[in-house]
């Protein structure tokens, strides 16, 4: 078998079309565009690229878009003061604080300070709690998990009843929320991680395999059940001397070429989950704006 490649860029483009329509409809109804503020602390070059891409997509979607860059030496109190100002700004519907934050700033405290109604990352305990209580329809859901589910459902349809989903990785950002979303689709869910015994065997029982461990190409083709759908959330930059001195390339958590011979469908890296993450950030911003204005929740499923 050679797996179908799930084109994250193409699916993200469809989601972004829906975002543009919903954004225009929102502006018609309220007289203002949805507003997104992205906060970046420090000068990490990878983070700068992500933040720039987010700003570009926000403008393409017709949003009011703000970027706040604070020096790496900033105090926690100053970050909290900025979050407080954005919470109080009625034209801002979404606040994203780019992670990781520099040492010395308590991430937990910063995320708690964001108004849950503006928490487009879905990391505030209120949104985590709503998702875990099966009330995802009232929550803002983290972008990467939500985007991964849209890619998965483009292959499987919305019901995963009778399917075994194995999530490798237990982070608050991906592993745990994606497991909740899979459960909500009636999958039988196993959360495995770096300390799981017999990891390869467990993966081989997965009809749906979600890889979110952050280890380049750790999941081998021999770990994949024939016909499985594989969602590779990993974004790992590794040295690529074959491309020249000091060059790097992006790989996932799955050995894609091997897995392609076994799986029925697989997301590539790059061009899989990554583009969906940004598209879902835009979708979450329109959702937050709509809910804040008492409008119906827009739908972005493909």
Give the residue numbers of the binding site for NADP(+).
169-171, 235
Query: Which residues on adjacent β-strands are paired with residue 203?
Result: none
Decide: 263 and 229 in contact? Cβ < 8 Å.
yes
Site for ligand GUE in 122-161 (CB under 6 A): 143
Measured from the CB of residue 236, what is the shortest distance to ligand GUE in angstroms? 11
Decide: 224 and 209 in contact? Cβ < 8 Å.
yes
Residue placing its CB nearer to ligand GUE in the complex, 30 or 107: 107
Q: Which stretch binds ligand GUE (CB under 6 A): 83-91, 186-194, 205-213, 275-283?
A: 275-283
Query: Is 121 known to be catalytic?
Result: yes
Which of these, 269, 293, 263, 274, lies nearest to 117 by C-alpha position? 293
Residue choice 21, 271, 291, 292 for contact with ligand GUE (CB under 6 A) = 271
Query: Is 27 known to be catalytic?
Result: no
Query: Is 7 known to be catalytic?
Result: no
Decide: 230 and 265 in contact? Cβ < 8 Å.
yes
Residues 107 and 82: their CA atoms lie apart, in Å, by 14
Binding status of residue 50 toward ligand GUE by CB under 6 A: yes
Binding status of residue 96 toward ligand GUE by CB under 6 A: yes
Which of these, 268, 265, 132, lies nearest to 209 by C-alpha position? 265
- The secondary structure element, H or E, covering residue 5 is strand 4-5
Neighbours of 268 (CB within 10 A): 20
Q: Which stretch binds ligand GUE (CB under 6 A): 23-31, 94-102, 132-140, 217-225?
A: 94-102
Residue placing its CB nearer to ligand GUE in the complex, 95 or 187: 95
The contact set with ligand GUE (CB under 6 A) reads 50, 96-99, 121, 143, 235, 250, 269-271, 274-275, 277-278
């Amino acid at each position: 078998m050679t797996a179908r490649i799930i084109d994250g860029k193409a699916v993200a483009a469809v989601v972004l079309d829906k975002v543009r329509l919903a954004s225009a409809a929102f502006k018609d109804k309220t007289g203002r565009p949805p507003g997104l503020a992205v906060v970046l602390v420090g000068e990490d070059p990878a983070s700068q690229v992500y933040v720039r891409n987010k700003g570009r997509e926000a403008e393409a979607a017709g949003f009011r878009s703000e970027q706040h860059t604070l020096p790496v030496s900033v105090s926690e109190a100053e970050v909290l003061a900025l979050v407080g100002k954005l919470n109080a700004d009625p034209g801002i519907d979404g606040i994203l604080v780019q992670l990781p934050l520099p040492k010395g700033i308590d991430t937990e405290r910063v995320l708690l300070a964001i108004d849950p109604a503006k928490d487009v990352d879905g990391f505030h305990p209120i949104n985590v709690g709503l998702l875990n209580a099966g009330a995802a329809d009232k929550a803002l859901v983290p972008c990467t998990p939500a985007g991964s589910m849209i890619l998965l459902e483009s292959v499987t349809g919305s019901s995963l009843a009778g399917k075994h989903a194995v999530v490798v990785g237990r982070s608050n950002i991906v592993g745990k929320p994606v497991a909740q979303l899979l459960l909500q689709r009636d999958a039988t869910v196993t959360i495995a991680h770096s300390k799981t015994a017999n990891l390869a065997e467990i993966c081989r029982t997965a009809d749906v395999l979600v890889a979110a461990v952050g280890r380049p190409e750790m999941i081998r083709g021999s770990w994949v059940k024939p016909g499985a759908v594989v969602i590779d959330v990993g974004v790992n930059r590794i040295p690529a001397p074959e491309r020249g001195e000091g060059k790097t390339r992006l790989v996932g958590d799955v050995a894609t070429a091997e897995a392609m011979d076994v799986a029925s469908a697989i997301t590539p890296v790059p061009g899989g989950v990554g583009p969906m993450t940004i598209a879902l950030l835009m979708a979450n911003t329109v959702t937050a704006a709509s809910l804040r204005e008492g409008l119906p929740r827009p739908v972005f499923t493909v």
